[in-house]
């Protein structure tokens, strides 16, 4: 498939990168082996998304529920994040990519937090693609933090309860200023959102693909974009043909 064959490229694509562990297990390897190969898939997809003009790419890197995993696996995931940023930050910066991190930062160790802050600060003024890294992110936690922020403003007398609108909530989410995802892709064949962008996905197109994340490359990404382009997005309205005949 060539880039010329793609039409209706989404502005914002979000991906739940799932299946690293199962990919490794099927090869008789430890889960860390799958995570390492998953990082290479990240590099491939980031480049492919920029190539076709995806303006925002959000990757679910570490969920707030992932703390339940074995400590050795958590440390391995943290190590891979460090490796990815240290290796690729200069390349992303030179490609005019702006990095934004969403998620709860309070429980992160200083080395991880400082690295994420460095990536954001280094690329802050870039105006090309925005790469959103969801790290220690959970949508319910994000909504709770937004509600707490609104409650404090009401308590302080700066906000009337009648002013708590959908726009007011959206403005206090981690994704404030970022358009809602047009397309959410989950790899590995699982068909659920797993606490990812629950508010923002109200009208997202959902796509569940069978490939494990390490096998999700340029060709698979372009195939998903092609499928997205064939869908009709109505946002609650009638399809054009139905409206014309009504």
**Catalytic positions, written as ranges:** 18, 66
Q: How far apart are CA 163 and CA 157, in angstroms?
A: 12
193 labeled part of a ligand binding site: yes
31 labeled part of a ligand binding site: yes
232 labeled part of a ligand binding site: no
136 labeled part of a ligand binding site: no
199 labeled part of a ligand binding site: no
21 labeled part of a ligand binding site: yes
Report the largest interatomic distance among the alpha carbons of the chain, rounded to a whole angstrom. Answer: 61
35 labeled part of a ligand binding site: yes
47 labeled part of a ligand binding site: no
194 labeled part of a ligand binding site: yes
Q: How far apart are CA 102 and CA 97, in angstroms?
A: 16
7 labeled part of a ligand binding site: no
160 labeled part of a ligand binding site: no
Q: Binding site for Mg(2+), residues?
A: 18, 205
Q: Binding site, residues?
A: 18-23, 31, 35, 63-65, 67, 69, 186, 192-194, 205
Q: Binding site for substrate, residues?
A: 19-23, 31, 35, 63-65, 67, 69, 186, 192-194
């Amino acid at each position: 498939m060539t880039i010329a064959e793609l039409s209706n490229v989404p502005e914002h694509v979000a991906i739940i990168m799932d299946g690293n562990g199962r990919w490794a297990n099927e090869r008789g390897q430890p889960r860390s082996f799958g995570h390492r190969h998953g990082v290479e898939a990240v590099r491939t997809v980031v480049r492919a998304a920029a190539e076709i003009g995806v303006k925002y790419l959000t990757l679910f890197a570490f969920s707030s529920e992932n703390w339940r995993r074995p400590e050795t696996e958590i440390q391995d995931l943290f190590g891979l994040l460090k490796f990815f940023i240290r290796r690729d930050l200069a390349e992303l910066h030179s490609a005019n990519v702006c990095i934004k991190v969403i998620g709860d930062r309070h429980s992160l160790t200083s080395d991880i937090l400082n690295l994420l802050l460095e990536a954001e600060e280094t690329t802050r003024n870039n105006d090309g693609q925005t790469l959103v890294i969801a790290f220690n992110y959970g949508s319910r936690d994000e909504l709770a933090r937004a509600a707490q922020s609104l409650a404090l403003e009401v308590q302080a007398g700066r906000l009337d309860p009648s002013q708590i609108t959908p726009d007011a909530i959206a403005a206090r989410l981690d994704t404030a200023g970022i358009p809602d995802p047009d397309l959410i892709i989950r790899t590995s064949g699982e068909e659920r959102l797993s606490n990812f962008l629950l508010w923002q996905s109200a009208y997202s197109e959902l796509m569940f693909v069978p490939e494990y994340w390490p096998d999700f490359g340029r060709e698979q990404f372009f195939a998903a974009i092609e499928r997205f382009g064939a869908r009709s997005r109505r946002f609650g309205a009638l399809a054009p043909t139905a409206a014309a005949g009504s």
